[in-house]
Amino acid sequence: MRRIPTQSRNEEQNQDIESGEVKKLKEEVARLKEKNVKMAYDLLGLHHSYADLNREYEEKTKAYEGLIQKQRAERDYTHRIKQDLSTVNKELTMRVQERNTALLAKRQWKICTRILKETSKKS
CA distance 104 to 97: 10
CA distance 9 to 19: 15
Range of the domain at 82: 8-92
The per-residue pLDDT of the chain, averaged, comes to: 90
CA distance 100 to 84: 24
Q: Is residue 81 part of a domain?
A: yes
Q: Is residue 21 part of a domain?
A: yes
Q: Is residue 78 part of a domain?
A: yes
Q: What is the pLDDT of residues 15-65, one digit of tens each?
A: 767 787 888 999 999 999 999 999 999 999 999 999 999 999 999 999 999
Q: Is residue 20 part of a domain?
A: yes
CA distance 92 to 115: 34
Residue 5 has pLDDT above 60, yes or no: no
**How many domains are contained in the chain?**
1
